[in-house]
Each structure stands twice: as structure tokens, then as C-alpha cells.
Amino acid sequence: MLYFRFLALLFGTTMVFLAPVIALRGQRWIDLFSEALIPEKQPVWFWAAGAFAAFLTLITWYVQITSPVTLSWVMTLFITLSLVKAYCFIFRYEQARKVTLSLMDKGRTFTAGLAGILFLAGFCILCLGIFAF
């Protein structure tokens, strides 16, 4: 179905192109992320992002249940996991921020590992969108 193909191509392409940016920018990416995206006080836009994640999850589960698309459960699981992240950053912001910043303190090891995992996951999701849906 086109819905799952669209989601897979959108997320896969974003992840594949974001990975080299993270790897090449290194510490500058960590500084930007910690200052702009997870500041000391919880940004208001986290609530909007959480609502969007919940809406996207509901729509994805509806399409999953009502259409027989091969391997659509993979994208449904991927989208559903966004709710866990949204929950942590909305209702447990201080703990999530502390854990994220402690991971980022690892420096080059963290950015290289994150970029590698992001690229591999993005490539798999992109292949899923191209070949499976």
C-alpha cells in the first residue's frame, strides 16, 4: 500500500542522509542538539510532537489492521516505538534529558556509533519501502 511505502521512503531517506551529517559534524552536532533541541526547560513543541506521534501511530495501526500489506508490521512497530520516546520526553523530561546528555558526553564514539546505527536502520527501512511495499 502507498501509505507504508510513503512512510518507509520518508523515514529511510531522512535517516540515510542524516547519518553522514551527524558523523561529519561530530561535536558541533552534539552542541547544537543539547542547546537547541533539549534545553534545560522543556520546550512547548514537545507536546505538539507527542500529539503528532500519537496521531501517526493511530493512523498506522488503523491502516495495519484494515489492509493486508506484506511486512507492514515492521513499519507499524517502528512508528509505535515513537510513542515510547514521546512519553519519555513529555512526562519524564529531566530523566530523558539526563540520559541523552550522558550518552552524548561520550564524544566521537557516540556520534560514530549513532551515525552507523542510523544509516543501517535507514537503509533497511528504505529497502523495505522500495522492495517490500
The confidence score (pLDDT) of residue 99 equals 92
Which range of residues forms the domain containing residue 25?
2-132
- What does residue 107 show for φ and ψ, rounded to 5 degrees? 75, -130
- What does residue 41 show for φ and ψ, rounded to 5 degrees? -95, 140
Domains: count for the chain: 1
Global pTM reads 0.84
> One digit per residue, pLDDT tens: the chain, 133 residues?
799 999 999 999 999 999 999 888 888 888 888 888 888 899 999 999 999 999 999 999 999 999 998 889 999 999 999 999 999 999 999 999 999 888 888 878 888 898 999 999 999 999 999 998 8
Contact 34, 105 (CB under 8 A): no
The confidence score (pLDDT) of residue 79 equals 94
Give, for 59, the enclosing helix (H) or strand (E): helix 45-66
- Within the chain, strands assigned E span none
Rounded CA-CA distance 84/106 in Å is: 24
Place of cell 500529539: 51
